[in-house]
Structure 1
Amino acid sequence: MRQEDRLGLILQELNEHGSVGVAGLSGLLSVSEASVRRDLHLLEQQKLLTRTHGGAVASGVLYELPMRYRGGQHHDAKRSIAQAATALVGPDVSSVGLNGGTTTTEVARELASRTHLRVVTNALNIAAELAVRSNIELVVCGGSARAESYELVGPLAELTLSSINLDIAIIGVDGVHPTAGFTTHHEVEAHTNRALVRAAERVIVVADSSKIGRRGFAKIGEIATASDIVTDDDASPSELDELRRLGPAVHVVPAR
């Protein structure tokens, strides 16, 4: 396991339990206790946790993991979801909007080989990957950068999005809940995502099974906003049926 993936899992454990122990992490990550201590030391230097005797505790409340530590989580599922979402983008589609996130980054990589396609994004990492693709016409929103998601958000981003029309927007979210709708952790990010949704004729939401049934702080839109939801088969079938009853087509791919 790469160190970056280990760090992400350590932060996820902290997010869920509030504290972690060196011995427990050593077993979970299949590495030595010395490696765990080095990982904890690195995260402490970044002010992401506080070391204790035999482990660590959360430094504040970790509602949102930095994106650089989320890439290894559910990676196989995210890649399968991206492939399925890209298959929904027909040859007649000329413009696609992407917000930030690990799953939409995988979507961007799947779209990278397309021709005659304009991609609009507010994600700096996606823009960096697609900028070198001469077959893709890339449009990047302005805005204020969020370190957690690499997204450009706020009035400048929304001004760009309010003046364009997109065939499809493919949106990554932090929560998919029948009553709470599509949600994310940050209210300004949610506001910019709503602008991206309004610019699109069709909305596809990509979310791995860990997001199904969860509620984030800030609402992006109702479930009926999306024409399609793409997720993996670790999600509860009853929860997926409830989402289907609200309107979207729900596409389920293998998690592994």
Structure 2
Amino acid sequence: MLFSTERLQQIEHIVKERQHVRVAELSEYLGVSEPTIRRDLQKLEAMGRLRRAHGGAVALMQATPEPPIIHRLTECAEEKRRIGQVAASLIEDGETVFLGSGTTTLEVARNLVERQGLTVITNALNIATELAGHENITLIVTGGVVRHSEFSMIGHIVEQTLKELRADKVIMSMRAVSVKEGLTNANLLETMTDRVVMQFAHEVILVADHTKFGKAATGIVAPITAIHKIVTDDQVSADTVRQIQKLGIEVIQA
């Protein structure tokens, strides 16, 4: 019989290889009881190695490398357009809002151009360009080191600038979103900037299409409970929505 540590390693390997495996199959293969397998799966889920599912476990999906922002403009374009409209409706005239970088936050910006009395703070060059010609919006650009593939500015300069400002709302996107793994990002410097951004306002709103959910990237930004609202599309699974809502987070599907 395998020792506990060896058995956990075996289970992790099997789940990664098959992507989905049932408790009964693991019990038979490893020669231990189903309650023992369930306890092992609980341990592995707590370690972030897999995700338990009904009757078994599934491999935790890793977020694929993110293509440059210019290549993502056409991905899920209709979903992002709807998300942008709904997220923009959550902003009141006269408020100060921070818009993070990304293709979905760009759609939010496009829906703000007719609004009155807004102050928009951003670290995204494409969003700054989108709003720069609209005198009804006070635009503050943070400065920072340009991440060319994202048209974003990151690093110490951004973080220092935000210490001098405040916002009513932060609207940001994220590379990967998981109930268990939280909010994660692939670029570690951007991860540090995102952490500062999330402390910057009374309300944090995440905009993310369905392809971002149930995945994890390398850099941990924050637990999912750091978000107050999520605006997404109608293709996110009902089970995922229920899990998020149980944590007290409002989910709006556009």
Normalising by the smaller structure, the TM-score range is 0.7 to 0.9
Q: Deviations over 1:121-163 (max 9, x none)?
A: 0001111111111111000011100112111000001100122
Matching of residues 100-249 of structure 1 within 5 Å? 100-249=101-250
Provide the secondary structure at the position in 1 that maps to 2:111.
Answer: helix
Report the TM-score when normalising by structure 1: 0.73
Question: What is the distance in 2 between the residues matched to 1:143 and 1:114?
Answer: 27
What is the Cα deviation at residue 194 of structure 1?
1.5
After TM superposition, the structure 1 stretch with the greater mean CA deviation from structure 2, 240-249 or 66-75, is 240-249
User: What residue ranges of structure 2 are gaps of 5+ in the alignment?
Assistant: 1-63
Provide the secondary structure at the position in 2 that maps to 1:81.
Answer: helix
* Contact map agreement 1:119 1:136 (CA 8 A) in 2: yes
User: What residue ranges of structure 1 are gaps of 5+ in the alignment?
Assistant: 1-61
User: Aligned residue for 1:67?
Assistant: 69
Question: What is the distance in 2 between the residues matched to 1:113 and 1:188?
Answer: 34
Percent of residue pairs bearing the same amino acid type: 37
Provide the secondary structure at the position in 2 that maps to 1:107.
Answer: helix
User: Aligned residue for 1:47?
Assistant: none
Question: What is the distance in 2 between the residues matched to 1:72 and 1:104?
Answer: 14
Q: Deviations over 1:25-76 (max 9, x none)?
A: xxxxxxxxxxxxxxxxxxxxxxxxxxxxxxxxxxxxx712000100000000
Question: What is the distance in 2 between the residues matched to 1:94 and 1:235?
Answer: 30
* Contact map agreement 1:183 1:190 (CA 8 A) in 2: yes
Q: Give 1:109's aligned amino acid.
A: R
Moved over 2 A (4+): none
Matching of residues 79-98 of structure 1 within 5 Å? 79-91=81-93, 93-98=94-99
Q: Deviations over 1:189-208 (max 9, x none)?
A: 11111211111110000000
What is the Cα deviation at residue 90 of structure 1?
2.7
Provide the secondary structure at the position in 1 that maps to 2:245.
Answer: helix
* Contact map agreement 1:112 1:133 (CA 8 A) in 2: yes
Question: What is the distance in 1 between the residues matched to 2:85 and 2:203?
Answer: 18
Provide the secondary structure at the position in 2 that maps to 1:111.
Answer: coil
Question: What is the distance in 2 between the residues matched to 1:125 and 1:90?
Answer: 22
Question: What is the distance in 1 between the residues matched to 2:116 and 2:221?
Answer: 30
Question: What is the distance in 2 between the residues matched to 1:184 and 1:112?
Answer: 29
Report the TM-score when normalising by structure 2: 0.73
Q: Deviations over 1:84-142 (max 9, x none)?
A: 11111134x51000110000000011111111000000001111111111111000011
User: Aligned residue for 1:32?
Assistant: none
Q: Give 1:210's aligned amino acid.
A: T
Residues paired across the two proteins, number = 192
Provide the secondary structure at the position in 1 that maps to 2:128.
Answer: helix
Q: Give 2:235's aligned amino acid.
A: D
Q: Give 1:83's aligned amino acid.
A: Q
Question: What is the distance in 1 between the residues matched to 2:89 and 2:130?
Answer: 20
User: Aligned residue for 1:6?
Assistant: none
Question: What is the distance in 2 between the residues matched to 1:216 and 1:230?
Answer: 20
Q: Give 2:106's aligned amino acid.
A: T
What is the Cα deviation at residue 243 of structure 1?
1.1
Provide the secondary structure at the position in 1 that maps to 2:215.
Answer: coil
